[in-house]
Amino acid sequence: MLDNLTQSSQSIVINAQEIAKEYSNSFIEPLHILYAISLSSQSSADDLMSDLKLNTMLFKDDIKAAINNLPKVSNQNEIYFSQETAKIFELANTEAKNLKDKFISPEHLLLALCDFTQNAQNSTNSDILRIFNKFSITKDEKRP
């Protein structure tokens, strides 16, 4: 699943893992992926975020606050992908295929996060949905 990531997407995964470690989380959650995307300046996902004219400081602060509320562990030897994050990569792969791309780019991850949050069934998803709603982020090209 992760062997078809662009270099930018690989960097996002590595950064998400570091973020999870920093916050003492045992799983890489979609929030970690979103935060890593928001920190990335070497991908066209960064251009997409700029096009949305977000207050990036507030956006990142909201994500960090949500990550801070995730369960913490005191001694984490290994960090795993949560089931939700695995689903994000499946959705991103589908996005890439639909767009006839061979590799999963940060844009595909961002689109997958938009798709995934529409089915907010747990607090992680609902946190992302709340953040996306607050900043009017949708998958549609048209913004409200």
> Which CATH number does 2-134 carry?
1.10.1780.10
pLDDT tens, position by position, 62-104: 999 999 999 999 877 789 999 999 999 999 999 999 999 999 9
Supply 123's token pair.
């607090």
Domain boundaries, the chain: 2-134
The whole-number pLDDT of residue 120 equals 56
Count Cα atoms within 13 angstroms, Cβ side, for 86.
Answer: 5
pLDDT (0 to 100) of residue 42: 65
Q: The whole model's pTM is what?
A: 0.88
User: Which residues neighbour 68 within 8 Å (Cβ) at sequence distance 6 or greater?
Assistant: 23
> Can you tell me the distance from the alpha carbon of 16 to that of 4, in angstroms, rounded to the nearest whole number?
17
Instruction: Look at 52 and 35; give whichever has higher pLDDT.
Output: 35
In terms of DSSP H, where are the helices of the chain?
7-22, 30-39, 44-51, 56-68, 83-98, 106-117, 123-134
